[in-house]
Amino acid sequence: MKPGPGTYRVGGKVYASQLGLLAPRPPLLQVVPLSGRYLPRAGDTVVGTVTDVQSTFWLLDIGAPRWAPLHMTGVPWKVDVGETEQYLRVGDAVVVRVENLDPTGRIGVSMQGEGLGKLEGGTIVRISPARVPRLVGRGGSMIETIVRHTSAEVAIGQNGRVWIGGSAEAIRRVADVLRMIEENGPRPGLTDRVERFLVASTPTGPAAEGVPVRGVLHDEAPPPGGAPDEEVGADSTGAPEDD
């Protein structure tokens, strides 16, 4: 394993350079910070909002230190120069993928690909990017539980922004669960606690089946047999801290 974001190597050992969650992405070891702004990486799927519209591109707020321009060539529509506002307007929510980062920090994003696109209606709730693997769960177990019990449509961004669509009741219940995950992320048995909460608060009616979940990358979940999340401190050797 090689040192990745949030880590460094000294004398053959890899140390954390910030307080966060250990998130191995072979061949890299990385630490996702528990707080602070989202730091984009190529390949990340993120939820953003349109903050400005120009003749050939849209500016997106993805929670990063800089806004991300989405060029009209990076969308699934055939857009002519000057017609960008006909497709996306200020305040619209989208799911995009980070394509590249140049040395100046400029962020390139694209809306072309499976699970990407414009999000209609709904609301966006923000959680720490460090909690995203916990929200997804091992093999998608956590988000599957949430969707099954709420009938909500959910789009998860690795930038910690979660779009929720559906009825007002479904949105409220998912938002309540997100608060639970934000407050109790590192603790074991969280999926079972969430399911008990959702079962106890379920209105009368059938559970959801086949409700879409967008923007979820299951490779962000811990590998089978590993700990749900490992919280490590700066200059640690990777051993979990006491909760």
Predicted confidence (pLDDT) at residue 13 exceeds the cutoff of 70: yes
Rounded Cα gap, residues 46 and 159, in angstroms:
6
Predicted confidence (pLDDT) at residue 84 exceeds the cutoff of 80: yes
Q: What type of residue sits at position 174?
A: V
Check residues 78 and 103 and name the one with the higher pLDDT: 78
pTM of the model: 0.74
Q: pLDDT value at position 20?
A: 81
Q: pLDDT value at position 241?
A: 35
- Sign of the four-CA dihedral 77, 151, 163, 116: negative
Domains contained in the chain, CATH given: 2-36+226-232 (2.40.50.100), 45-119 (2.40.50.140), 123-220 (3.30.1370.10)
Long-range contact pairs involving 82-88 (C-beta distance under 8 Å, separation at least 24): 82/55, 84/53, 84/54, 84/55, 84/56, 84/57, 84/58, 85/53, 87/118, 88/50, 88/53, 88/58, 88/118
CB 102 within 8 A of CB 108: yes
Q: pLDDT value at position 211?
A: 54
CB 109 within 8 A of CB 98: yes
Tens of pLDDT along 153-202?
A: 999 999 999 999 999 999 999 999 999 998 886 778 888 899 999 999 87
Check residues 138 and 48 and name the one with the higher pLDDT: 48
Rounded Cα gap, residues 232 and 114, in angstroms:
34
CB 99 within 8 A of CB 112: no
Mean residue pLDDT of the chain comes to 83
CB atoms within 10 A of CB 101: 17
Q: pLDDT value at position 54?
A: 96
Rounded Cα gap, residues 71 and 136, in angstroms:
29
Rounded Cα gap, residues 20 and 38, in angstroms:
13
Predicted confidence (pLDDT) at residue 210 exceeds the cutoff of 60: no
The widest CA-to-CA distance across the chain, in whole angstroms, is 60
- Determine the distance from the C-alpha atom of residue 69 to the mean position of all C-alpha atoms in its chain, rounded to a whole number: 19
Q: pLDDT value at position 238?
A: 36
Q: What percent of the chain has pLDDT over 70?
A: 81
Judged by DSSP in three states, 159 sits in coil
